[in-house]
Amino acid sequence: MMKKAVMQFTACCLAVGITLGSFGTVALADNNSVTLAGLSETNTVVSSSSTLAGLSETDAVASTGGAQSAAETADETADSETADETDSEAADSAAVTSETADTTADADTDTTAAETEAQTETEAVYDTSMSGQLAFAQCENYINVRAEASVDGEVVGKVYNNGSVTILGQIGDWYEVQSGNVTGYVNVAYFATGEEADEIAEAVAYNVATVNAEGLWVHSEASEDSSTIGMVYSSDQLEVVAYEGDWMKVVLEDGTYGYINAWYVNYDTYYSTAETLEEEQERLDAQWLAYLAEQEAEAAAAQAAEEAAAAEAAAAAEAAAAAATEAAETYTYTETYTDSSSTTDSSSSSLSEAQAAVDEAYQEYLEAQEAADAATQQADEQLVYDTYDEAVAAYQDYLDAVAVADELKYSTATDTSTSTTTTDTSAAETTYTEAASTETTYTEAAQTEAVQTEAPQTEAPQTEAAQTEAAETTSTEASTTTSTSSTGQAIANYAVQFVGNPYVYGGTSLTNGADCSGFTQSVFANFGISIPRTAAAQASSGTSVSLSDIQAGDLLFYSDGSGISHVALYIGGGQVVHASSSTTGIIISSYNYRTPVCARRYWS
C-alpha cells in the first residue's frame, strides 16, 4: 500500500514537472526566480543555476542533472517498470530543457552580432594615411576651419584661396588640418592634394635663401670659374628664382641676378597659411588705422600741392598780365590787347570756379573722413564699412576736382601764350599802319617796302601727293599712339578694381592677397603680358621710361636706399595703385608719396 502511494506521488510530481531525489530538485520557473510547481502558473525553463527556497546554493542542481536524481529516487521507491518510465520522462524533460536553452543562446548571439554590426557602420573611422601631406585651398575667397568635423562646428579660423594646410587625418568628408596657429577641420571638397597640390605649390611658393656663411661670393654664372658680381653676408636673405644643382639663382638688392653656392645657405619655402579669427580681426583693425593715417597724410600732401599749384598759377597769371601790359604800352594801337585781356579774365573766372569746386570737394572729404573715424568708436560694424566707403568716394571726388582744375590751368596758360603771340603780331602790323598815317615822312614806296619786310615768309606749297603722304603718316602715327595709350589705360582701369583687397607677403591673388610685385605681375598677366616676379627684377626689364613721360599702365619703382624695394602701377592723374603693406592692403596713392627712382613700360 505504501509502495503504491509512493508511486502515485512520484507520477504526480513527474506530471507537473517536479522530481524528488536524494540530493537535488529541478523546478519549472521564470528566468531568475525559482517557483515550485503548484505555487506559480509560469512555466519557462530555467537554464541557469538558481537556489530553491530553503536550500543552499550547493543544493540546487542544473536541469541536465535532474534526470539522474529522478532515476535514483525511483529505484528506491518503486519497482523497475515504474523506474524505467520515470527515467524516460525525466530524459525527455531534460532534452526539452537543453533544446530551449540552445534556442535562447542562439537568439542572444544573433542580437549581439546585429548590434555590433550596426555600431560598426555608424562609427566614423579616423584615417591617418594622408598625415603630413600638404593641401591647398581652392575657393573663391576663403574656407572656414571648424572645431569639429561638421558644418555645425564652431569656426576657429579661415584659410584663403591657395592657402596651405598640413593634413593630420581624415574623418569621413573632413580633413583634420594644421595651418599657422589654426588647428581644426575643413571639408575635403575644397582642397587640392597630390599632383594638383604639387602644381599649385610650385606656382605660389616664395623661396628664400638665408646665408649661413660669414661671407659668400655672388657669381655671374653657375660656376666657380665665372666672375664675381658681389658678396652677401651671414643672415642675409635672398629671393631664389631658380635652383640649379649646387647653385641657386637669386635676386640682389639692386635688382640684378646672380648665383650663389647652395651648400652655404639654408633654403626655405613659404606658403600662405590660415589665420585665427583673432588674428584676422587684429589685421583688419591695423589695416583700417593705417588707412586712416595714410589718407590723412595724403590729404595734407594734396592740400599742400594744391596750394602750391594755386600759388604757381597765380604767379604765372600775374606774370602774363604784366607781360601783356608791357606789350600793350609799346604799341599805339591797343584794341587787340584789350580783347586778349578779356579772354584772360574769362579764363581766370573759370579757373576760380574750378578752384572753388576743389575746395568744396576737399571739405566734403574731410567731413566724410571725420564720420568714418567716429564710426570706429561704435559697435556697429556695418556703419564702419559704410562710412569708409563714403570717405573713399568723397576723396575720389576731390581728386577728380583737382584734375579738372589742373587741366584748366594748363589750357589757360596755353591760351595766354597764344593770345600774347597773336597780340604781338597784330600790334606790330597795326603799329606801322598807324605810324605811317601819322608821320608824313614815310612815302608810299617806303610803306610798301616796310609791309613787304614785315610780312611773314611762307614755305613753298606742297604738291597734292606730298600732302596726301603727310596726312597718311600723321594719321598712322596718331592711330599707333592712341592704340598703345589705350592699352596702358585699360591696364590701369583693370588694376583699380582690386583696391581694398588684402596684402599678403609672397601672394599673387588679386582678390585674396598679393604683395607689390605679385599684384603687378597678376594685373599684366590678365592682358597676356608676362613680367618677372619680383620688384627688383621688374625694374631691370621692360622699356625704360623717363619719369617726366610716364603714362597710365607704366610701373614706378621706389628704393629703400640700398636697392629696389617697392613697385606701383601708374594710373594717370598723378596717382598710382599698389599693394602697399599688410596693414593697408591694395590702395591708391599719389605717385610721389615716396620719390620714385625709375619707370618701366611693358605694354607698348
Q: Classify residue 547 by its DSSP letter.
A: G
Q: Classify residue 264 by its DSSP letter.
A: G
Look at residues 557, 499, 554 and name the one whose alpha carbon lies nearest to residue 529. 554
User: Are 264 and 213 contacting, i.e. CB atoms less than 8 angstroms apart?
Assistant: yes
Listed in sequence order, the residues at least 6 apart from 377 whose beta carbon sits closer than 8 Å to its beta carbon are none
Is residue 219 flagged as an active site residue? no
Collapsing DSSP to helix, strand or coil, 530 comes out as: coil
Among residues 13, 219, 516, 598, the one annotated as catalytic is 516
- Between CA 379 and CA 398 the distance in angstroms is 29
Distance of CA 291 to the CA centre of its chain: 18
Sign of the torsion angle spanned by Cα atoms 484, 486, 492, 498: negative
Length of the chain: 604
Collapsing DSSP to helix, strand or coil, 91 comes out as: helix
Treating both helix axes as pointing N-terminal to C-terminal, what angle do 516-525 and 464-496 enclose, rounded to 10 degrees?
Answer: 130
The residue type found at 526 is N
Q: Helix/strand/coil (H, E, C) string of 13-62? A: HHHHCCEECCCCEECCCCCCCCCCECCECCCCCCCCCCCCCCCCCCCCCC
Among residues 12, 139, 219, 578, the one annotated as catalytic is 578
- Between CA 337 and CA 342 the distance in angstroms is 9
User: Are 153 and 147 contacting, i.e. CB atoms less than 8 angstroms apart?
Assistant: yes
- Between CA 510 and CA 495 the distance in angstroms is 9
- Between CA 517 and CA 504 the distance in angstroms is 11
Q: Which uninterrupted H or E stretch holds 555?
A: strand 555-559
Among residues 13, 139, 219, 566, the one annotated as catalytic is 566
Sign of the torsion angle spanned by Cα atoms 559, 560, 564, 570: negative
Is residue 12 flagged as an active site residue? no
- Between CA 16 and CA 6 the distance in angstroms is 16
Distance of CA 442 to the CA centre of its chain: 86
Beta strands in 172-274 (DSSP E): 174-179, 182-187, 191-192, 206-211, 215-219, 228-233, 237-244, 247-251, 257-261, 265-270
Look at residues 13, 585, 50, 20 and name the one whose alpha carbon lies nearest to residue 289. 585
Neighbours of 372 (CB within 10 A): 24
Is residue 578 flagged as an active site residue? yes
Neighbours of 589 (CB within 10 A): 20
Q: Catalytic residue positions?
A: 516, 566, 578
